[in-house]
Structure formats: structure tokens, C-alpha cells
Amino acid sequence: MASVEPTIASTVAAADSAKTAWDTLYATYANRSQTRVFGLRDQLARIAKDSRSITEYLQTIRSFSDELATVGAPVSNPELIVKILSGLGPEFREISAAIRARDTNVTYEELFEKLLDHELFLCHEDAKKLSNPITVAVATNTNYRNNRRQNNNFQNGRQNSHSNTQPQRQPNTSPNTVVRYQLCNRIGHTA
């Protein structure tokens, strides 16, 4: 049991000898019946990347391809590549189109490498997008407050009390320097 993969441990756990374990594994995975072949091909056809990583997605496809080869119905390399590309999500659309447009066939290993590189690129792009929204939100919020204050002034036909006050100077600043708080845009206190 120590040398058996966890995915097949339950299949051979009840075996009382190595021969029984091998026979059970053969009956389970090397069954050449049409039902087994159809079932594996159906499962292979339904696989989609969804939220899996590229590594998990391709390993799942490869395991079904290997099982089909074991039962005597191997999947050709072009068929495997088409299956992989068709199960990718929209974020892989550009690389999928580029691979389909190639004049030469791509190998499974080459495709694996290219998809991993693209997944890494997407992760970096997502990280960039996540680092910018905070700045945008603060700038938008400040602009919203300024626009709202100006709109209230125009609607009321008078200047806001903040607009009538003279700029306050902070201690230890020159008389010509006006210090505004960067978030609320009020004069007189610093960040």
C-alpha cells in the first residue's frame, strides 16, 4: 500500500496478494470493452479548465489520454491538442488562436510550456490590476466630493461656508503656502 497512488489505493486495498492486486488493476484500467472506451472518450470530451490551474487541467487530460492508450484506443497528438485548446477559457483565446494558426504541429510538451507561460503572464496582469484600483478609488472619491460641493454651491446660489473662509496656514510654513489635506481637500490639516 505504501507504493500505491492514493487514487487507486481503494481499488487494491482488499487484495490479499500482489497477483490479486495486479489482476484487479488490470480489470479496472485495462478493460478493452467498448463501454469503457466510450466512457473515457466522453469524460475526455467534457473536461474544461474552469478554475483549475493549467497544470491540473493538462494532467487530467493526460490521465484520460493515457487510460485510452492502455485500453487500446490511443488519442493522436493533434486530437489531444484540439481537445486541450477547446477546453480553455476565454482568457486563453489569443494563445489558442495563435496555436491553431500555426503551419506546423505543436507537441503536447510544447503546448504545456506555452500555456504555463501564458498563465504566468495572466497572473502578473491580474496583480497589476489589483494594485491600481485603490489609487483610482481615492482619486475618484476626492473628485466626487469636489464636484458635489461645487454642484451644491451652484444649486443653492451661494458659496459654501468652506469657500468663504480664508486659507489657513500651518505653523512653520511660509505665508504663501496653503496646505490642503489630500483626502478631504480641506485646508488646514496635513496627511
Clarify whether residues 126 and 104 are in a common domain: yes
Task: Please tell me the predicted confidence (pLDDT) of residue 140.
Answer: 47
Torsion angle of C-alpha atoms 6, 7, 12, 14, degrees rounded to 10: 80
Clarify whether residues 38 and 77 are in a common domain: yes
Q: Tell me the sheet residues that pair with 180.
A: 187
Task: Please tell me the predicted confidence (pLDDT) of residue 183.
Answer: 61
Q: What angle do CA 95, 100, 105 make, to 5 degrees?
A: 115
In a domain, 143, yes or no: yes
Clarify whether residues 92 and 51 are in a common domain: yes
Task: Please tell me the predicted confidence (pLDDT) of residue 37.
Answer: 87
The last residue of one of the domains, among 130, 152, 183, is 130
Clarify whether residues 115 and 41 are in a common domain: yes
Residues spanned by the domain of 148: 133-164
In a domain, 190, yes or no: no
Report which of 126, 128, 100 is spatially closest to residue 114, judged by C-alpha positions.
100
In a domain, 88, yes or no: yes
Task: Please tell me the predicted confidence (pLDDT) of residue 186.
Answer: 62
Clarify whether residues 123 and 151 are in a common domain: no
Side chain identity, residue 99? I
Task: Please tell me the predicted confidence (pLDDT) of residue 176.
Answer: 55
In a domain, 175, yes or no: no
Task: Please tell me the predicted confidence (pLDDT) of residue 112.
Answer: 92
Per-residue pLDDT of the chain (191 residues; tens, 9 = 90+): 777 777 777 888 888 888 988 888 887 776 667 788 899 999 999 999 988 899 999 999 999 999 899 888 899 999 999 999 999 988 899 999 999 998 888 999 999 999 999 999 888 877 776 665 554 444 444 454 555 555 555 455 544 444 444 444 445 545 555 665 566 666 655 55
In a domain, 43, yes or no: yes
Clarify whether residues 59 and 145 are in a common domain: no
Number of separate domains in the chain:
2
Task: Please tell me the predicted confidence (pLDDT) of residue 122.
Answer: 87
In a domain, 68, yes or no: yes
In a domain, 48, yes or no: yes
Phi, psi of 187 (to 5 degrees): -85, 140
